[in-house]
Amino acid sequence: MQGSQDAPTHRHKKRGSTYALIGIGKMQAEHWRDIAVDEDETALVDLREVAIYRSVDDGSLWARPREEFEDGRFEVLEGTDAS
């Protein structure tokens, strides 16, 4: 695939790799729980917002909780729609 969807919009600060943010979606998982939020494992991740992004290097797709994508570990590249 070529075009603006493949253009890098973010850089992972630690790794230096670049990614194209595809969009924000919602996780659907009936039984998946986030023990980092709640130690007794009652915090469901169902309908949690996730960032969906593509590696510019190899085209692999990734998803991570939106708050992690926006917590500073990725930087917005200047001159992109995301900036």
- The CA–CA distances, whole Å, from 30 to 8, 26, 46, 49 equal 33, 13, 6, 15
Number of domains in the chain: 1
Considering the domain boundaries, does residue 79 fall inside one?
Answer: no
Q: Residues 49, 26: contact at Cβ < 8 Å? A: yes
Q: Which domain holds residue 57?
A: 4-71
The tens digit of pLDDT for each residue in 40-61 reads 555 677 888 999 999 999 999 9
Average pLDDT over residues 17-31: 92
Considering the domain boundaries, does residue 60 fall inside one?
Answer: yes
Considering the domain boundaries, does residue 83 fall inside one?
Answer: no
Considering the domain boundaries, does residue 81 fall inside one?
Answer: no
The predicted pLDDT at position 79 comes to 83
Which spans in the chain are helix H? 66-69
Q: For residue 72, what pLDDT band results from cuts at 50, 70 and 90?
A: very high
Query: How far apart are alpha carbons 30 and 55 in whole angstroms?
Result: 28
Considering the domain boundaries, does residue 59 fall inside one?
Answer: yes
